[in-house]
Amino acid sequence: MSRKTLAFISQLAEPGSYNKSTWRRIHGGDDETIAVEALLDHIGALDRLDYIGIKAHEGEPLPADLDAVDGVILGGSFASVSDNYCWQAEIADWLTRWRATGKPLMGICGGHQLMTTVLGGRVEKNPSGPEVGSLPLSFTDQGRDHYLLDGFDETSPFFFGNFDRVVEVPNGTVVLATRPTLPAAALDHGGNWVSVQFHPETTCDRMATCWAEIDPAQASRYSFIPGCERMIGNFIVGTGLL
């Protein structure tokens, strides 16, 4: 049986809108594709999948041959979906074509918001301000039995760091988890598409580094979370990529 290919699409930020030197202290710097490759190695998936990383925000092309990719993770972003950068429009157009394949996609933070927007949902600025820190979820009835949340419970914290939130989910989308100010913190969109407002793909050090530039007072709100990366494994196994 041939190995399947997993792509990670980075949409970190509009080039020039952040200080690259802030990130030099951590593995991979601001290149999320390196960090995700390390995570896949950590959870034992890298030796069983072919992996490609794409920095879409830097103009790297998205896969033209959809048959050559079996699953996708779409990362978060400093940019809001309302910024409408050219690279955001290109990702949105590509997602529409990817949706037609029925193949798996997991969106994270800004990826969660962009997926939801593409499917007809609505995103707005969180009136309570940014959701920052290592924070728990409340599971819905559907979430408690969902493969994505397998092995977690409502005491399990995750890394949050977002200014915007999903306030209206697309037709047919199921809410899996919430927070007091986030009515749609984890979603199943059907068709092997899932998305989360938080960051199971990263580390407390990367999150704190990110916020050290945005708002240094927030950086100390992150604590080490053992095992949150298992959710990436849940996505890979639950959608049949492994």
pLDDT score of 216 = 85
Query: pLDDT truncated to tens, each residue of the chain (242 aa)?
Result: 689 999 999 999 999 999 999 898 899 999 999 999 999 999 999 999 999 999 999 999 999 999 999 999 999 999 999 999 999 999 999 999 999 999 999 999 999 999 999 999 999 999 999 999 999 999 999 999 999 999 999 999 999 999 999 999 999 999 999 999 999 999 999 999 999 999 999 999 999 998 888 888 888 899 999 999 999 999 999 999 99
Q: How far is CA 105 from CA 43, 70, 232, in A?
A: 18, 9, 11
pLDDT tens digits along 189-207: 999 999 999 999 999 999 9
pLDDT at 102: 98
Give the active site residues.
109, 199, 201
Strands 105-108, 122-125: pairing kind: unpaired
pLDDT of res. 73: 99
Contacts of 105 (CB under 8 A, 6+ apart): 71, 72, 73, 74, 95, 98, 99, 115, 192, 193, 194, 195
Give the CB-side neighbour count of residue 39, counting CA atoms within 13 A: 25
> Is residue 187 within 8 Å of residue 146, measured between CB atoms?
no
What is the pTM assigned to this prediction? 0.97
Q: How far apart are CA 153 and CA 39, in angstroms?
A: 22
Q: How much is the pLDDT for 211? A: 86
Q: Are 34 and 12 in contact (CB under 8 A)?
A: no
Please, what are the domains in the chain? 4-238 (3.40.50.880)
Return the closest-CA partner of residue 186 out of 142, 229, 228: 142
How many Å apart are CA 198 and CA 186, to the nearest integer?
A: 8
Q: What is the pLDDT of residue 2?
A: 87
Q: What is residue 93's predicted lDDT score, i.e. its pLDDT?
A: 99
Concatenated DSSP letters for the chain?
Answer: -PPEEEEEEE----TTSS-GGGGTTSTTTT-HHHHHHHHHHHTT-TTTEEEEEEEGGGTPPPPS-GGG--EEEE---SS-GGG--HHHHHHHHHHHHHHTTT--EEEETHHHHHHHHHTT-EEEE-TT--EEEEEE-EE-HHHHT-GGGTT--TT-EEEEEESEEEEEPPTT-EEEEEETTEEEEEEEEETTEEEESS-TTS-HHHHHHHHHHH-GGGGGG----TTTTHHHHHHHHHTT--
pLDDT of amino acid 1: 64
Give me the pLDDT at residue 158, please. 98
